[in-house]
């Protein structure tokens, strides 16, 4: 039986990468716990409320999307829709062409990774630069994020210094401050040269037609201030009903993601620049992207769309910590990715990622830290059911078949007989059996002595004595 891809990936992962990922994740988990519960003794109740707000929105998403569209348009934004990745890339290109933009600055957007926007625009000859420090480094390396909030959690300073040197950003210097200053200098020219800027959005308020972008670096601010055209690429599930819902979401997001009450910049954008402003976009476009979200909404795993991309689940996940983000072979890693990625792959793509829901001990730590209370373990189980029904080979790798066990477990007499007869195991050097599930167990662990039938015998005798 072939082994599980993610388990192999973890086994082969370089020591220093695993160290980086583990310490970054553990720090995030610790900070979240400290800040969230110091500030809000009722934090768990807030998580459940936020989950209900998001679920309500999803359950009425047709209404709220229509409301958001009207409100945005009333604010002077142009609203577009993209059914899938091709449409999203095509729509962005159309807007860039219409405004004769050639140079583009870009802020973090996970949905842009989904639709592979950067490669598309590069091929079409656009000069596009990622402005978030982590994303900038990844772009230079031709690499991809391994965490939704800390994109280069898998890299250390030496690797970054080498990358900068390779790309003419200065002689090798791995001081974080130097690295940051170099990026700052480099990017300032780009912001001013760019005609267009592309961002994501953390939230969209249907009530007021505002999008909300949270950053620490100030890159989206500069991207907007420097350019003429702003394109926001937004998954349709990012909508919340009202501005007041943002008070709950924003109080949970920063603390869950990085242990901050608020990130340094929280931007509420509802249109192009004000009439009197010198700098800022003259056009504000919002492209609502579907990319199979309606399929997920229709499925029995719709709760995953509540996600506000805080990264707390992957920070706490013991499997993510061992394997790192790239093991998930998709845009979204960790517990989030284990549910969302196979679903976003559609019916044809599901088998390729059907092992992701298996990469979990179902410990539930993810649900415990999720700011919108997504029942991730239940969703993983549903996807395992689907993987088995569709006979996905990647899902069943290394999974002991349950047919015989189920047969014995339905027959009390057979069960008791098996319990007693397996006492023979104690005579066998079973740790010398190198194959199958038993072999995989005994490679690293001893097995306790088999004591089948002992409890039953005791129970029977005790009944006799009572009489």
Partner 1 sequence: MATCLCDAFFDEAAKASVEVLEGLGIEVVIPEAQTCCGQPAFNGGDWEASRAVVRHTLEVFSGEDPIIVPSGSCAAMVFHGAPLAFEKEKDRALVDQVGGRTWEVFDFIFRGLGISTWTGSWPGKVAVHSSCHTRGTGTPEAIRSLLGSIEGLDLVDFAEPEQCCGFGGTFSVSFPNISRNMGNLKIDNILATQPDLLVSGDMSCLMHLRGLAEKSDRALPARHAIELLRDTMDASILSHGLANH
Partner 2 sequence: MNDRDKIFTALRAAVAKKEKPADLPELPLDDFISRPRRGAGDWADFRRNFEAANGDFLAGGPDLRSLLEREGAKLGYCPEDLRDIISPHLPEGVELRSEFNRDEIDEFAFGITRASHAIAETGTLVLTDQETPDRLGALAPWIHVAVVGEGNLIPSVVQAIQMLPADPNVIWATGPSKTADVEGILIEGVHGPGIEACFVLS
Which of partner 1, partner 2, none sits in contact with 399, Cβ below 5 to 8 A by type?
Answer: partner 1
Which of partner 1, partner 2, none sits in contact with 326, Cβ below 5 to 8 A by type?
Answer: none
- Examine residue 243 and tell whether it contacts partner 2 (CB under 8 A): yes
Rounded-to-integer distance, Cα 350 and Cα 383, Å:
10
- Considering only 188, 391, 416, 451, the residue that binds partner 2 (CB under 8 A) is 188
- Examine residue 14 and tell whether it contacts partner 2 (CB under 8 A): no
- At closest approach, how far in Å is the CB of 333 from partner 1? 14
- Considering only 152, 232, 331, 365, the residue that binds partner 2 (CB under 8 A) is 152
- Nearest residue to 147 via CA among 290, 304, 266, 24: 24
Q: What mask, x for binding partner 2 by CB under 8 A, covers residues 161 to 180?
A: ---------------xx-xx
SS3 98: helix
- Examine residue 199 and tell whether it contacts partner 2 (CB under 8 A): no
Residues 43-62 that bind partner 2 (CB under 8 A): 45-46, 49, 52-53, 55-56, 58-62
Of 156-164, 316-324, 351-359, 362-370, which segment contacts partner 2 by CB under 8 A?
A: 156-164
Q: Which is nearer to partner 2, 61 or 376 (CB)?
A: 61
Which of partner 1, partner 2, none sits in contact with 4, Cβ below 5 to 8 A by type?
Answer: partner 1
CA pseudo-torsion sign 249, 250, 255, 258: positive
- Residue 66 DSSP one-character state: H
- Considering only 192, 345, 363, 408, the residue that binds partner 2 (CB under 8 A) is 192
SS3 219: helix
Question: Which residue(s) pair with 44 in the sheet?
Answer: none
Residues 60-99 that bind partner 2 (CB under 8 A): 60-62, 65-66, 75-76, 81-83, 87
- At closest approach, how far in Å is the CB of 141 from partner 1? 26
Which residues are within 8 A (CB) of 288 and not within 5 positions of it... i.e. 6 or more apart? 65, 69, 79, 80, 81, 82, 234, 235, 236
CA quadruple 113, 115, 120, 126: dihedral, nearest 10: -60
Which of partner 2, partner 1, none sits in contact with 60, Cβ below 5 to 8 A by type?
Answer: partner 2
Q: Which is nearer to partner 1, 110 or 363 (CB)?
A: 363
Q: Which is nearer to partner 2, 86 or 460 (CB)?
A: 86
Residues 112-151 that bind partner 2 (CB under 8 A): 131-134, 137, 150-151
Which of partner 1, partner 2, none sits in contact with 273, Cβ below 5 to 8 A by type?
Answer: partner 2
The answer to whether 152 touches 137, Cβ cutoff 8 Å, is yes
- At closest approach, how far in Å is the CB of 368 from partner 1? 6
> Which strands make up the sheet holding 103-106, listed edge to edge?
78-82, 283-289, 229-235, 196-199, 103-106, 127-130
- Nearest residue to 241 via CA among 48, 66, 44: 66
Rounded-to-integer distance, Cα 214 and Cα 249, Å:
12
Per-residue tokens: 352? 């390729």
Which of partner 1, partner 2, none sits in contact with 387, Cβ below 5 to 8 A by type?
Answer: partner 1
Q: Measuring CA to CA, how many Å separate 275 from each of 76, 208, 231, 464?
A: 12, 19, 19, 92
- 204's enclosing H/E stretch is strand 203-205
**Cβ contacts of 27-34, under 8 Å, gap ≥ 24:** 28/149, 28/150, 28/257, 28/258, 28/259, 28/311, 28/312, 28/315, 29/312, 29/315, 29/316, 29/369, 30/259, 31/258, 31/259, 32/255, 32/256, 32/257, 32/259, 32/312, 32/315, 32/369, 34/259
Q: Which is nearer to partner 2, 5 or 249 (CB)?
A: 249
- At closest approach, how far in Å is the CB of 23 from partner 2? 7
Which of partner 2, partner 1, none sits in contact with 408, Cβ below 5 to 8 A by type?
Answer: partner 1
- At closest approach, how far in Å is the CB of 42 from partner 2? 5
Residues 413-432 that bind partner 2 (CB under 8 A): none
Residues 253-282 that bind partner 2 (CB under 8 A): 258, 261-274, 276-280
Q: What mask, x for binding partner 2 by CB under 8 A, covers residues 206 to 235?
A: --x-x-----xxxx-xx-xxx---------
Q: How many residues of this chain interact with partner 2, rule: CB under 8 A? A: 99
- At closest approach, how far in Å is the CB of 44 from partner 2? 12
């Amino acid at each position: 039986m072939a082994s599980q891809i993610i388990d192999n990936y973890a086994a082969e992962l370089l020591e220093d990468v695993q160290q980086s990922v583990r310490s970054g994740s553990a720090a995030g988990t610790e900070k979240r716990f400290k800040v969230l519960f110091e500030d809000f003794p009722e934090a768990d109740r807030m998580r459940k409320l936020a989950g209900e707000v998001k679920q309500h929105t999803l359950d009425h998403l047709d209404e709220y999307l229509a409301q958001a569209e009207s409100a945005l348009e009333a604010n002077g934004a142009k609203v577009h829709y993209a059914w899938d990745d091709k449409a999203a890339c095509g729509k962005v290109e159309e807007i860039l062409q219409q405004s004769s933009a050639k140079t583009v600055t870009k802020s973090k957007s996970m949905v842009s990774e989904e639709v592979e926007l950067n490669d598309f625009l590069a091929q079409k000859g656009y000069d596009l630069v990622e402005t978030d420090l982590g994303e900038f480094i990844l772009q230079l390396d031709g690499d991809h994020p391994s965490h939704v909030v800390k994109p280069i959690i898998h890299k250390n300073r030496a690797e970054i210094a080498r990358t900068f040197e390779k790309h003419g950003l200065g002689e090798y210097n791995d001081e974080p401050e130097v690295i940051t200053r170099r990026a700052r200098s480099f990017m300032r020219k780009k912001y001013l040269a760019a005609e267009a800027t592309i961002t994501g959005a953390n939230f969209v308020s249907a009530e007021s037609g505002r999008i909300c972008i949270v950053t620490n670096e100030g890159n989206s601010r500069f991207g907007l201030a420097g350019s003429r055209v702003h394109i926001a690429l937004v998954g349709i599930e990012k909508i919340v009903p009202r501005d007041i819902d943002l008070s709950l979401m924003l109080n949970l997001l920063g603390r869950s993601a990085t242990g901050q009450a608020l990130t340094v910049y929280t931007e509420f954008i509802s249109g192009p620049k004000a009439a009197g402003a010198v700098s800022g976009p003259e056009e504000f476009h919002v492209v609502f992207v579907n990319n199979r979200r309606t399929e997920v909404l229709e499925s029995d795993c719709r709760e995953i769309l509540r996600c506000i991309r805080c990264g707390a689940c992957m920070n706490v996940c013991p499997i993510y910590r061992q394997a790192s983000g790239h093991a998930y072979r998709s845009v979204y890693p960790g517990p989030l990715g284990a549910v969302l990625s196979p679903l976003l792959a559609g019916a044809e793509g599901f088998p390729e990622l059907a092992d992701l829901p298996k990469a979990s001990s179902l410990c539930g730590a993810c649900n415990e830290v999720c700011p919108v209370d997504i029942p991730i373990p239940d969703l993983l189980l549903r996807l395992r059911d689907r993987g088995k029904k569709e006979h996905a080979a990647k899902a069943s790798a290394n999974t002991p078949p349950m047919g015989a066990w189920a047969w014995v477990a339905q027959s009390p007499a057979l069960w008791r007989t098996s319990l007693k007869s397996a006492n023979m195991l104690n005579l066998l050097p079973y740790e010398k059996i190198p194959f199958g599930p038993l072999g995989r167990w005994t490679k690293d662990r001893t097995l306790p002595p088999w004591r089948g039938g002992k409890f039953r015998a005791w129970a029977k005798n005790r009944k006799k004595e009572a009489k």
